[in-house]
Chains A and B, each alone.
Chain A
């Protein structure tokens, strides 16, 4: 999958930056440190925006592309922050055959065309298409901020979203 670039403004704090710098210093003499640094950076910020990758590149004395190449390669790295309302729709096999595609389309429609992998520019909503989350018995299933909703039909979507608006 092509990585989605974010349109959400960066809201990093001084404290987060200090944490990040400490992480980079910790791995100063470690070979192949890019992966653990990116992982810990994502723990600090929740995602890996350009502002964060620039700090990493400068302090590791590598080009920004070298950081971005790795960040865009691995699916666990996100270039988008999770929204305040983080919606994840399971597109595993069971959910998919039970109509998860319709569910995600309905959510997208309700949220102004937000696509899987996107976060709305105001940072309020994020929509993610996940692989199987192990709740096949409830298919099709989605989660909002970790709360699970199962055995859905597309008409349920509006009611669920209304709770978080």
Chain B
């Protein structure tokens, strides 16, 4: 790509000829405010916050969609531009419910920050405003259109990024609002609860159902035994809620914070990630060697499960019957642990903290009650953001906490369990175990690099002894759709598939800390956060699920062997075929 010479604010720059003015400015370290812009998926020039002056143009232009050309002169900070941006913010604000004090996004709201920067007078344009009912039909995602600024970032996340499109702009003009077709509630649509709309939202129009009060109440109830386990990726991201840079490993502080909240047990979900691998690797080998249904597809991601049930019901028999690590943990706790310690499973309140909003739906699914009817394996699933809020409410000084360790007997997770949180991680973990089972000896190299990285669809073939195993990995449901269609057409032939609903896997889940557009567009959160997990794996001696002594003990004491009758009763589940709305 050739470069062109342009002037920005009187200084010369040479930029790639295919850049937009916004990209050119960013490369020159000049910050242009944006609200609607999301790199690659929402470049629509709608919010008019990125206005700049271009010499010779008739009026101000939207930098996010305006291409550069040779000799162009751009001015980003003139009185007229500052005034235009301020005016547009005032117009946005004129139909925005300004309940900032009670808003979930107060202090992390992109609109609030811009209004402060531009000195906006909130009552500048007084006039009619829309009033909408809050859609709280979903167990996971709540929409408050009174705060919506119609930037369409959620729409782009749902349609372009995830290939789903259950929300969009309905009606027109002043009546335009984001909703589902025929105004049905979100819970009635084929929404998969991935929450990518939430992390895309610049304001407080979308948020997860807050379950923190249920957890606080349970902790305060002396008759309850309240335990919590943390998913692999939460330790890689929760620091962001307390001002750490993305990509900071805060496992020790996270554990200390959870202990300070007063749980009776604080556990490591990496352990049940390892347990999942044991069950899933053996399930795969059984299907692979005995002519079972292939390709086997992983079942850890509840967003992916619901996507499969809605959009590819013909593949539900390909899904691994393994519960997700979250559900395995709750099931294990309310059976094995309860029996061992003489606790009535009804008195156990089991909480998981996960990077995911779809897990809030998963906890209430059929076939997730190992300890008896009505006794759900997991009582409440809270997101990374909710755990951080609980710590803030409880006055826990996260940054100054010392490192602490998870509680026994569920403290130990392998490196294979750790990388579950990144796309390709489950596949790599399963391959480490499956390969050693087949080969009957330790692998020389544990890294399966072809399945790593943020590419949407990855394929590889591995030779295990004298057999070849063909694998594929997809993250983001739009990529899953591509892969499954190519499997359906026979173009792709594979034995084992890993699918994660969110692009990049759990590290980029819909329950992870929100980051403003300026970060999301310039930092690849998927890679930066995943690096924490891969570094943790690399630094560990224990890097294979089947070598985790805690997992071995579970099989010795309780489950006997992977895929045993007991394991099936407690650790496996079933799926349904859902219609499409």
Residues of A within 8 A of B (CB): 1-3, 5, 50, 53, 58, 62-69, 72-74, 79
Contacts and interface: CB of A to CB of B under 8 A. Distances in A.
A66 B180 CA distance: 10
A65 B166 contact: yes
A68 B166 CA distance: 11
24 contacts: A1-B171, A2-B171, A3-B170, A3-B171, A5-B182, A50-B181, A58-B580, A62-B165, A63-B159, A63-B164, A63-B168, A64-B181, A64-B182, A64-B581, A65-B165, A66-B168, A67-B181, A68-B170, A69-B169, A72-B170, A72-B172, A73-B171, A74-B172, A79-B182
A69 B167 CA distance: 9
Given A53-B181, A65-B181, A73 B165 contact: no
B58 to A, nearest CB: 27
B430 to A, nearest CB: 32
Interface of B: 159, 164-172, 175, 180-183, 580-581
Contacts of A50: 181-182
A65 B168 contact: yes
Nearest to A68: B181
Contacts of B171: 1-3, 72-73
- Most chain A CB inside 10 Å of its own CB: which residue of B167, B168, B183: B168
B141 to A, nearest CB: 15
Contacts of B169: 69, 73
B183 A5 contact: yes
10 pairs of A and B residues whose beta carbons are closest in the complex = A63-B165, A68-B181, A65-B168, A69-B168, A64-B181, A2-B175, A65-B181, A73-B172, A72-B170, A72-B171
Contacts of A74: 172
A51 to B, nearest CB: 11
A1 B159 CA distance: 25
A2 B175 CA distance: 6
Given A63-B165, A65-B165, A1 B175 contact: yes
Contacts of A5: 182-183
A58 B311 CA distance: 11
Contacts of A1: 171, 175
B176 to A, nearest CB: 8
A36 B324 CA distance: 46
Contact of B182 (A62, A66, A68): A68
Contacts of A68: 168, 170, 181-182
- Most chain B CB inside 10 Å of its own CB: which residue of A1, A63, A79: A63
Nearest to A66: B165
Given A5-B183, A63-B181, A72-B171, 8 more contacts: A3-B170, A50-B182, A64-B581, A65-B165, A65-B167, A65-B168, A73-B169, A79-B182
A2 to B, nearest CB: 5
A37 to B, nearest CB: 16
- Most chain B CB inside 10 Å of its own CB: which residue of A2, A5, A65, A72: A65
Nearest to A70: B168
A50 B168 CA distance: 16
A64 to B, nearest CB: 4
A65 B165 CA distance: 7
A157 to B, nearest CB: 29
Contacts of A66: 159, 165, 168
- Most chain B CB inside 10 Å of its own CB: which residue of A1, A53, A62, A74: A1
A161 B167 CA distance: 41
